[in-house]
Chain A
Amino acid sequence: MSGIVDVEGLSLRYGSVRALDGVNFTLRQGITGVLGPNGAGKTTLLRCLSTVLVPDSGRMDILGFDPDSLTDRVEIRRRVGYMPQEPGFYASFSCFDFLDYVAILKEHVDPDDRHREVRRVIEEVGLEEKAKTKIRKVSGGMRRRLALAQALIGSPRLLLLDEPTAGLDPEQRFRFRELVSELSEDRVVLLSTHQTEDVAAVCDRVLVMAGGKISFDGPPRDLAQLAAGKVWLSNEKPSAAQVFWRTADGAFRGVGQAPPGSMPIEPTIEDGYLLLVGAAALAEEAA
């Protein structure tokens, strides 16, 4: 393997729970989406890649550095932008001050350059009007943008985004897709999400995780094709199908074994995902 990120046999346990179980993949330039139900290991994977967690076993090569080495780990951190699933903020800081603070911790020592960089990322995420507002006074959506902005400081070559669109309204999600697609022109973006639409919209590759393992690795269209011939519409309520629901026009749309009299339709990435992770995962997510 000779990607920008190479991962081999990555494993990590939380007590008796196997969060990662021999994960292998390679990342190259572009946007890679990570899909999976809760507890599949998505966040753990991103935390390992960002050097927050040290895996129990396996090997990682991130941007040419070995995270097992203390020196290399610092080099990785200098080149990685990480947006955690639950970013912690200093509520008494203004948005600008917080980003300025993060920029200092990211070793931006020239005040003029640093402030310019902070203004740039604020502009990129569209937070100009809230720059001087205390974080405690901004909405949840604004905070997600702020979390993204801090990850963008320093134009990192590897962006690790954990649930970046959670809590965003449709317009904000559209803007986010636009931004991420721009960012991916010259860097690697790993995007963990539950939103299959986001993956379909911006990712050129998708990893599907379940039980700490990667169960699918390929382009989104291939994920969708997993469900080819297994997605259908029926006027009758099916008796056996993995997943089905009533559509707005009264028909039943299902994924799985097609019932008699049903009409096959073109599968989406969501269909492929559902077929892959199974109804149990869906039920867990719905809960």
Chain B
Amino acid sequence: MTVTVSRPDTFSSTPRGWEVAVQLAKVEGRRILLHPASLFTLVLAVGAMWVMHHGEAPVLNRAGATTVVPLLVFAAGVLIASADASARLWTTEQSEALDIAPASARVRTAGLVLAAAAPVIVGLLLQVVTLGVLLLADPVTTLDVWDFLAGATVIALAVAIGVAVGRWIPSRFTGPMTLIFLIAVVSYLGSYGMRSRFGDVVTWFAPFDALDWEPSEIVFRPTGPHFIYLIGLVGVFVGLALLRGTGRRWGLGACLVVSAAVVAAGVAGQLSAYEAFDEQSVLAEHMPPLADDVCRVRGSVEYCALAGYEDWIDEWAEIVEDVLDVAPESVAVVPLAVRQYPTRLMDQGQSFTLEYGPGLAIGAWWNRAAGGLTQADAYPFGIALGAASWAVGIPFERIPGRWVWEVDEAGNRISSEFVTGIEGVPKDEIEYAPYCSTLNQGRAMVALWMAAQVDQRTGEYLSNRLERTQAPLVEDFVDSDGSTFPVFQGMLEWMDNGQYYPWYLVLYWMHEAYYAHELLDRPAADVEALIAQNWETLTDPSTTTAEVVQLLGVDPVPGLSEWMAAHQDTFYEPCA
């Protein structure tokens, strides 16, 4: 052992408390970041960022899903790490030597609170990188700065909560138990019961309203007051953490009062914003014609986008043009309108489409995979099918008189005439909206092929939908007990609604989709030539699917008896 004799008196000058706190914050910040809970949730957050934005049209102002939701995951890990750090500093098993170190309890707590800077910076970096990637992809809308700041503030709040609970209840279980409690509170605030009782504003008393994923130009979000609310909460929890210390407390009490006032101001701001919010007025502002809409004409098609969404017009046009390239010149020159509507408006029912006339409607949620919850391929397929159906003459709008709403004792029901036409439609869907059926219309098969042939996405979407419908496909009917009923006749499973609204009123069926998919296996040029030669016949509403199948030379699906014979070994269970 080498003994060094030189030992200067290092306490000749006394450092200020904040200098110690800063040094402590550097160490604790690094340890919070390297805590297994932080590292694990950071990986999850990065993964969530990627999943939420991969393969979909970039939107800047959807902060709820853009950056803050993944950061909530990271914040959860940071909360556990912070509570651990705080509990470590104050647990009774710690060394007496550390107890009597000259740094005061308040300085130590302040150091832990300042350590929030490290995870906050990491969170900001993650947000900036995500936004940078989005910016490179020509995103639509503009960034809501308050939402952006809320992401970092949520992490700071997690540290403040973690330090406070660890300071008052120093135990290794404090962090996880606090997290479970917070998740329960947030879930409760977002529950249907709470929303129906107090309104949507209650969800904003959680750290972040993760349920609201729609663009903020349309759906009201009090992001500014919410940011103030979060800042106040950070102050309150920092104050609570520092409260358990020694020395004078009047200054701390003042800080707590100010923080509580900021929280109250944030709450009041959120409440008053909700009270002043008139959803119908906001929606009306987005109803076409809207002066702020950006409309561009390409060929015979006029595309109108909501303000801020105009960069999507090129993507819509590319799909529509690929569809119309298949149609004869006479069709391609007929004017068509493609108009974007607020998604919320489209969810409210079909009335606006009737009021504003036919056309292809696209939602503000276009090409949104929403973290893989929906299939992004549905959106290009929806536009393509809309354009294709328009090209083959399938009506855009509800035809007056064809379906009639009847009101009986049981409530709103549609007429028996309509029910007969769409026997396979579930009752709850019948009650939702009237439909136009393309069952056994050959032009539906042509339209489905025109949509599916646009690109790989649309082709795969049709394939996936067919695969998801598991029922076997047969052509004929079976008699049982003297009655006749359709066997395994199913409609094509619903595409994600809201993106091609007029076509939500149109039913497409399995047979036509199956035959369209069969055509995809052939060279597109060959099919295109056949369709061009027989366009008039193929698009005649009276031309049946069987006739089109014969005309285009597609192998028909087997009859039921034939199918049953082919599957006899597995279809029947021998009687014992």
B contact residues vs A (CB 8 Å cutoff): 1-5, 7-11, 14-15, 19-20, 22-24, 26-27, 88, 93-104, 108, 111, 246-247
CB distance B20 to A102 under 8 Å?
A: no
A contact residues vs B (CB 8 Å cutoff): 47, 50-52, 70, 74, 77-80, 82-84, 87-90, 97, 100-102, 104-109, 111, 113-114, 117, 120, 123-126, 147, 150-151, 154-155, 157, 175, 178-179, 182, 185-186
Contacts of A185 in B (CB 8 A): 5
CB distance A87 to B97 under 8 Å?
A: yes
Contacts of A157 in B (CB 8 A): 9
Interface centre among B7, B19, B88, B93 (most CB of A within 10 A): B7
Minimum C-beta distance from B360 to chain A (A): 60
- Given A104-B20, A113-B10: A151 in contact with B5 (beta carbons within 8 A): no
CB distance B10 to A155 under 8 Å?
A: yes
CB distance A102 to B14 under 8 Å?
A: no
CB nearest to B246 among chain A residues? A70
CB distance B11 to A154 under 8 Å?
A: yes
Contacts of B24 in A (CB 8 A): 104-105
- Given A78-B14, A107-B11, A126-B1: A52 in contact with B96 (beta carbons within 8 A): yes
Interface centre among B4, B5, B101 (most CB of A within 10 A): B101
Minimum C-beta distance from A72 to chain B (A): 12
CB distance B11 to A82 under 8 Å?
A: no
Cα distance A105–B21 in the bound complex, in angstroms: 9
CB distance B96 to A50 under 8 Å?
A: yes
- Given A50-B96, A124-B1, A155-B8: A106 in contact with B103 (beta carbons within 8 A): yes
CB distance A109 to B23 under 8 Å?
A: yes
Contacts of A182 in B (CB 8 A): 3, 5
CB distance A109 to B100 under 8 Å?
A: no
CB distance A52 to B101 under 8 Å?
A: no
CB distance A82 to B3 under 8 Å?
A: no
Cα distance A106–B1 in the bound complex, in angstroms: 25
Q: List 6 A-B contacts (CB under 8 A).
A: A52-B100, A84-B95, A90-B88, A104-B111, A109-B15, A178-B1
CB distance A105 to B102 under 8 Å?
A: yes
Contacts of B3 in A (CB 8 A): 124, 178-179, 182
- Given A47-B96, A74-B102, A105-B102: A117 in contact with B23 (beta carbons within 8 A): no
- Given A74-B102, A78-B102: A107 in contact with B14 (beta carbons within 8 A): yes
Cα distance A245–B549 in the bound complex, in angstroms: 113
CB distance A186 to B7 under 8 Å?
A: yes
Pick the contact of A107 from B2, B20, B26, B246 — CB < 8 Å?
B20
Contacts of A82 in B (CB 8 A): 96-97, 100
- Counting from the closest, the 9 A-B pairs by CB-CB distance are A105-B101, A155-B7, A88-B95, A126-B1, A109-B19, A109-B15, A105-B103, A77-B102, A84-B96
CB nearest to A90 among chain B residues? B88
Cα distance A100–B28 in the bound complex, in angstroms: 12
Contacts of B101 in A (CB 8 A): 77, 102, 105-106
Cα distance A154–B14 in the bound complex, in angstroms: 12
Minimum C-beta distance from A175 to chain B (A): 5
Interface centre among A50, A51, A82, A123 (most CB of B within 10 A): A82
CB nearest to B7 among chain A residues? A155
CB distance A107 to B99 under 8 Å?
A: no
Cα distance A78–B102 in the bound complex, in angstroms: 6
Contacts of A175 in B (CB 8 A): 1
CB distance B14 to A124 under 8 Å?
A: no
Minimum C-beta distance from A59 to chain B (A): 19
Minimum C-beta distance from A82 to chain B (A): 5
CB nearest to B30 among chain A residues? A97
Contacts of A79 in B (CB 8 A): 11
Cα distance A226–B111 in the bound complex, in angstroms: 54
CB distance A104 to B103 under 8 Å?
A: yes
Cα distance A123–B24 in the bound complex, in angstroms: 24
Minimum C-beta distance from A46 to chain B (A): 10
Pick the contact of B100 from A77, A89, A101, A107 — CB < 8 Å?
A77
Contacts of B96 in A (CB 8 A): 47, 50, 52, 82, 84, 87-88
